[in-house]
Amino acid sequence: MMSAAPTPDEAPNELMTGDSFLESLRDGRQVYLDGEIVKDVTAHPAFANAAKSSAHLYDALHAPDTKDLMTTVDRYTGHRVHRFFTPAHSAEELLKARDAIEHWARLSYGFMNRTPDYKASFMAGLVSTQDFYAPYDGNARAWYEKYVKQGMAVSHAIVNPPVDRNKPSHEIGDVFIKVVAERDDGIVVEGAKLMATASALTNAAFVGQIHLGNLQKGKAEDMALAFIAPMNTPGLKVICRSSYEKKATSPFDNPLSSRFDENDTVLIFDNAFIPWENVLIYRDTEKIHEYFPRSGLLSRGFFQGAIRMAVKLEFMAGILDKGTAMNGTQGFRGVQAGLGELLAWRHLTWAMTTAMAMDPEEGPAGTVLPRLEYAASHRVLAPLSWERVHRFFEEHLAGSLLMTGSSNKDLQNTELRPLLDRFYRGSAGSAEDRIKLFKLAWDAIGSEFGARHELYELNYAGGPDQVRLDTLTGARAMGLLDSYGAQVDKAMGDYDLNGFTTGRWADGS
């Protein structure tokens, strides 16, 4: 007779705390910035505050007022886990996972995109689809258990570098990831992958393929790989872009970039050793084409992304409203119309998360997934919403975004301060209030950090054309367009050259 499942208070809890998460990053990883290895990412000025921001997420898993909001008992391991790190089995579970995702998103005001729950979109599926990974199904299950129990932070790198993409993959063996040696205890790989956003502050990276069209059977088996690499894997080099956190002059001047900069990186595997227990797919050109749609990453990933975007849009609506009040333009008709549209984008985005959860589709092994066609629609519309945000801020705040002085030191200058108090004051606040608000607005859309977010949101789920083509392809595969076309045929069947042929229109009643 099976024993009763443990209650949440009885369940083992191995989830990392903020402190243990920070400690887990001190593992000898090779993170490169400005030509040098960063010895400790938790203390380096390029990463320290972002690391603390991530630590806050883990603290929320244990805080008395958010512990039950964020966690549940995992049916597979019996441990207390983050609600989105384990597969959902009902619409109710998806909604509760949404609440957990939302809370984490609010801790960065929607500006940290690759928080650990993002990769949960894929990692949670390792337990419900483990048979797919045979003969490495045991690895899939083992990694799920390790991941979910600790609440590990996992990044991913699934895009090939933009080199010779017009050629078949097997002709670019000097750049794309491939296996170069097979050993009794694992494989040796070399090559590069991108974009491993935030990987400098994660525990491991999932490495796979997404651009699959030219992985040819019989020629590209050495590239048909999927594996998980701890960030301290010997031979793994993490090459970072310039750090916006490091460039931040103060929290007052750079309130977002000084603490929420998720550094985008390229992972270079320089004859790196991958033990067999970390391999999920090996030299299988057919399976490497199937794992992406089978994993649940598409619908779950866009579910998490939509929740995060809704929080971000709320934040931007708040800035726009306060900014126009500070300028005395809040009552202008055009300003009100712009703010109204921004709110509509937020409401639409949030409503889509509700629909994804409440109208789920059947997933593997008794699980449910957010409905894919709704997720695909968010994938198309999210970049448009962020493009409109920029338009509203540039139209309705305009030069106010630049009338902020050079830094917080201007306000601390005793000679300048009386002048700034007089000439920089706002209609709804002091000069300091006004400058503080517009520096926040500029960091969100105009700084290097803000420009990166514009680029990120545009390409978050793929190129603009590709997200639309995928929506079309998916609709055709599900028979949606056939159904829609049948309605057209039915409508045209109601009449012919001589008049109406069906219903009351035809019989004159």
Name which of 124, 123, 120, 106 is nearest 57 in CA terms: 106
**Phi, psi for residue 239 in degrees, rounded to 5:** -100, 115
What helix, strand, coil percent values describe the chain, rounded to 5?
A: 50, 15, 35
> Which tokens hold the place of 315?
């934040």
What is the model's pLDDT at position 203?
A: 98
Report pLDDT digits (tens) over 422-468.
999 999 999 999 999 999 999 999 999 999 999 888 887 777 888 88
Give pTM, 2 decimals. Answer: 0.93
Question: What are the structural domains, with CATH classification, of the chain?
Answer: 18-294 (2.40.110.10), 297-477 (1.20.140.10)
- Is 170 annotated among the ligand-binding residues? no
Task: Pick the closest to residue 333 from 344, 324, 345, 322 (CA basis).
Answer: 324
Q: Give the lowest-confidence range in 125-129, 140-144, 218-222, 265-269.
A: 218-222
Do the Cβ atoms of 207 and 231 come closer than 8 Å? no
Residue 294 to residues 121, 128, 298, 473, Cα–Cα distance (Å) = 12, 10, 9, 16
Q: Is the pLDDT of residue 295 over 90?
A: no
Coil, strand or helix: which one is 67? helix
pLDDT at residue number 4: 58
Residue 213: pLDDT above 70?
A: no
Mean pLDDT for all residues in the chain: 93
Cα separation, 253 vs 260, in Å, equals 14
Q: What is the pLDDT of residues 225-271, one digit of tens each?
A: 999 999 999 999 999 999 999 999 999 999 999 999 999 999 999 99
pLDDT at residue number 133: 96
- Tell whether 224 is in a known binding site: no
- Phi/psi-derived region of residue 470, left when phi > 0, alpha when psi is between -120 and 50, beta in every other case: alpha
pLDDT in tens, 471-504: 888 889 889 899 999 999 999 999 999 999 998 8
Amino acid identity for residue 84 in this structure: F
Higher model confidence: residue 313 or residue 169?
313
- Look at residue 1 in the predicted model and tell me its pLDDT: 39
Task: Note the pLDDT of residue 209.
Answer: 86
Name the residue type at position 292.
F
Buried b vs exposed e over 143-161: b needs ≥16 C-beta within 10 Å? bbbbbbbbbbbbbbbbbbb
What's the count of helices (H) and strands (E) in the chain, helices before strands?
19, 16
| C-alpha separations of 339 from 292, 306, 342, 357 in Å | 38, 20, 5, 28
What sections of 328-399 are H helices per DSSP? 333-358, 372-396
Q: How confident is the model at residue 168 (pLDDT cuts 50, 70, 90)?
A: confident
Whether residue 135 has a cis bond before it, omega within 30° of 0? yes
Looking at residue 211, its pLDDT comes to 59
Query: Is the pLDDT confidence value at 416 over 90?
Result: yes
Collapsing DSSP states into helix, strand and coil, what is residue 193?
strand
What CA–CA distance (Å, rounded) separates 325 from 222? 60
pLDDT at residue 3, as a whole number: 47
Q: Both tokens of residue 329?
A: 């333009």
Tokens found for residue 387: 């493009």
CA proximity to 101, closest of 124, 132, 79: 124
| Contact between residue 55 and residue 22 where contact means Cβ atoms under 8 Å apart | yes
| Burial bucket for residue 507 (CB in 10 Å: 0-12, 13-18, 19+) | exposed
Which pLDDT score is estimated for 463? 78
The reply, when asked if residue 134 is annotated as ligand binding, is no
Are the C-beta atoms of residues 134 and 282 closer than 8 Å to each other? Answer: no
Strands 30-33 and 236-240: parallel
Q: Is 156 annotated as a binding residue?
A: yes
* Percent of the chain whose pLDDT exceeds 90: 82
**pLDDT over threshold 70, residue 84:** yes
| Burial zone of 292 (CB within 10 Å; 0-12 exposed, 13-18 middle, 19+ buried) | middle
